[in-house]
Amino acid sequence: MQPLTEQLLHCALPDLPLPAVLRPRWLAEGVLQLTPQHAPPRAVVVSAGIHGNETAPIELLLQLLAEIGSGALRPETALLLVFGNLPAMRANRRYLHHDMNRLFGGRHRNAPRSHEATRAAELERVTAAFFAQADAPETERWHLDMHTAIRGSRYPQFALVPYHAHPYHPPFFDMLAAAELDAVVQHSAAGGTFSHFVSEAFQAQSCTLELGKARPFGRNDLPQFAATGAMLRALIIGAPLPARQKPPVQHFTVAESIIKTSEHFTLNLPDEAENFTCLPPGYEIAHQPDRCWRVGDTARHILFPNAGVAPGLRAGLLLAPGAPRLSLSE
């Protein structure tokens, strides 16, 4: 395990010899702001560890931080690096009390008191402070929230673009393509994720990146994510994006959310079923006493199936093929 990872797990993130020209400032534990002295063209938030056991993105973000600390990587953008749920990382758990990625957009105010609710409120405040300090009228706002999935996937690396009313621009989707993602999924309803909060509250180009399957610290095959790392480095230093080597990105739209409301909820899928599995029309995918869900003619792909979620939470998404939406009017 790398030294920075060891320090992350046993204490707060360490002080690094960060270049003074970047005006480094810790806004909270695990939240580092770096601001070039010249007016940056873009303000970028890169986050990982909102779920504490999704370790590959955390290790990737630690690599970027080490390169910045050594001077090998010199940001030309205003940059906010966020390590989300530090106690859950140290416990190798998804979360301690509540799923923090359902608590943003003020939802933490209605949640039971917990570390995750307090941290979600803190991350909202520091993100607002970052954009307020970094922004000029022409500054673009971007956000990449990196995760890994609980189960395997037929498209191993993919992005989830939150529901949005403001325009999303082609360069943002060019960036996703350069990361060698296999698929992009467009949400069709508001949610409590960090990426939706940043998109909605700050009119940012924001999304969630799912980078493979969740594994313990030290057991990730980080070369699998080399393209994402190369994209992030290009974004941070303002260099041209790497050329895509894979076939074109596959696009989907969320057609329906399967919301579990009963303890007597049944999901009719084997445990080994992968994300993006294509199901036959008419198949009863889930049921509970008040309703059942059947697969339609077009929305046939299942994403994030999980019968073990608490009542009131999403137990899966049904996807239909669909091009990315650049704005609500499209």
Does 51 show up as a binding residue in the annotation?
A: yes
- Burial class for 15, CB neighbours closer than 10 Å (0-12, 13-18, 19+): exposed
- Split into its structural domains, the chain has a count of 2
What is the layout of strands, in order, in the sheet containing 284-288? 266-267, 284-288, 291-294
- Is residue 207 a contact partner of residue 144, using CB atoms and an 8 Å limit? yes
Q: Does residue 188 belong to any structural domain of this protein? A: yes
Looking at the fold, whether 105 and 230 belong to one and the same domain comes out as yes
Looking at the fold, whether 142 and 279 belong to one and the same domain comes out as no
Is residue 214 scored above 80 in pLDDT?
A: no
Across the chain, what does the average pLDDT equal?
88
User: How many whole angstroms separate alpha carbon 37 and alpha carbon 23?
Assistant: 7
Looking at the fold, whether 216 and 298 belong to one and the same domain comes out as no
pTM score of the predicted model: 0.90
Catalytic member of 59, 116, 180, 210: 210
What would the pLDDT profile of 10-67 be if each residue is shown by its tens digit? 545 556 677 777 888 889 999 999 988 877 788 999 999 999 999 889 999 999 998 9
Q: Does residue 244 belong to any structural domain of this protein? A: no
Considering only residues 252 and 69, tell me which one the structure prediction assigns the higher pLDDT: 252
Does 76 show up as a binding residue in the annotation?
A: no
214 closest CA partner among 306, 118, 115: 306
Is residue 253 scored above 80 in pLDDT?
A: yes
Q: How many residues does the chain have?
A: 330
Residue 2 is predicted with a pLDDT of 58
Contacts of 24 (CB under 8 A, 6+ apart): 18, 32, 33, 34
Looking at the fold, whether 14 and 126 belong to one and the same domain comes out as yes
What would the pLDDT profile of 282-314 be if each residue is shown by its tens digit? 999 999 998 999 998 888 999 999 888 888 888
242 closest CA partner among 176, 286, 308, 161: 176
User: How many whole angstroms separate alpha carbon 56 and alpha carbon 201?
Assistant: 28
Is residue 260 scored above 50 in pLDDT?
A: yes
Angle at 163 between CA 267 and CA 280, to 5 degrees: 35
210 as an active site residue: the answer is: yes
Residue-number span of the structural domain to which 289 is assigned: 262-321
